[in-house]
Amino acid sequence: MLKKRNVHKNNVAGRFAKSKLQSAMEYLMTYGWAILIIAVVLGALFQLGVFNANNFAPKAPPGSCQVFRPNGPYTTSFINLEGVCSGELPQYAASFSASGNSYIQSVSFPLPSWTVVAWADASTVPSGRAGIAGEGWYWDDKYVEAGWGRWAGNCCNITTDACPYLYGSSITPDQWVFLATTFSAPSNTMAFYQNGVLQGTNTAAGCSIDSNNEPVRIGADDGNDEFPGEIANVQIYNTSLSASEIQALYQEGIGGAPIDLQNLVAWWPLNGNANDYSGNGNNGQINNVNFVSNWWSGYTPP
């Protein structure tokens, strides 16, 4: 009798397990495609950056931080930063096309010593050279460029046309990078930095001579080299910043304010316009440039 009861229990347990398995299979058959579609959609949204923390971070509106010069442009007495200058992400970045003569242009700066910094994001790796003017920023044969699969800093001797390149790390498309080039007179020493790290130094005698009076261009040079991608927070100083100052600027992130107001010549955040927020009035002229709000894809705060 006991044996029959055990057999009966085993049969009931077997039928119950079989029923659960059958129910699970029916559930998967019914909802499996829906689960798969949801997984694919979520994967696509992650890929597009919808869940990127930068998408939900507070954004600073255009002109939220600027330099105040109570005694007028290029004066240095009592100057200070005004507004929200805590390094919040900008609402916009300038987007440049690889075709269509896309650039922002301002005045020329005859500076014996200088520093230029900017954030840049190449949408593709240019086959030639391109950037903050041809490369990112450019004036009178001084430029930073993206080309041949990597970033480079350059400052040509106007008389001899000798151009000693300083190369940085390879370019990863759709990834923001902080670039800085300094030139120190009278030693004629040029230095190139990428993400706050020194890439190298070289001697570039003669590159500080501004005999051609060429304007600053952002996004293209005065030839056919154009930058495919986005650029933000371009700053020009009339001194060669130190390595620690370059590192500090990088650590501020893409929304960082200038670090040396006394020697600041121009500051174009490119946060929705080409205005100069250094207090010196060097506003840029826009030619076929868009300002985009979804710039943050590929940006990782330092």
Distance, CA of 146 to CA of 136 (rounded, Å): 8
Residue 3 has a pLDDT of 45
- pLDDT class of 302 with cuts at 50, 70, 90: very high
Give CA separation, 217 vs 63, 131, 222, 228, 279, in Å: 21, 9, 8, 14, 19
Residue 241 has a pLDDT of 97
Which residue intervals of the chain are DSSP H helices? 2-48, 243-252
Residue 170 has a pLDDT of 81
Residue 38 has a pLDDT of 63
pLDDT tens per residue, range 26-67: 665 666 656 666 655 555 544 555 545 566 677 899 999 999
CB 223 within 8 A of CB 147: no
pLDDT tens per residue, range 201-245: 988 776 655 555 678 888 876 656 678 889 999 999 999 999 999
- pLDDT class of 284 with cuts at 50, 70, 90: very high
Q: Considering the chain, what is the average pLDDT of its residues?
A: 79
If you average pLDDT over residues 249-266, what whole number do you get? 96
Whether the pLDDT of residue 197 is over 50: the answer is yes
Q: Which two tokens stand for residue 6?
A: 């055990």
Distance, CA of 27 to CA of 19 (rounded, Å): 12
Whether the pLDDT of residue 72 is over 70: the answer is yes
- pLDDT class of 123 with cuts at 50, 70, 90: confident
Pick the CATH number of 59-292 from 3.40.50.1820, 2.60.120.200, 3.40.50.10860, 3.20.20.410: 2.60.120.200
| pLDDT > 90 fraction of the chain, expressed in percent and rounded | 41
Identify any residues that bridge with 266 across adjacent strands, giving them in sequence order: 236
Where are the domains positioned within the chain? Answer: 1-51, 59-292
Whether the pLDDT of residue 176 is over 80: the answer is yes
Among 11-20, 101-110, 149-158, 268-277, the least confident range: 11-20
Largest interatomic CA distance in the chain: 112
Q: Where are the beta strands (DSSP E) in 34-156?
A: 59-60, 65-68, 80-83, 89-90, 93-96, 103-105, 114-122, 129-130, 137-139, 142-147, 150-155
Whether the pLDDT of residue 137 is over 80: the answer is no
Contacts of 281 (CB under 8 A, 6+ apart): 73
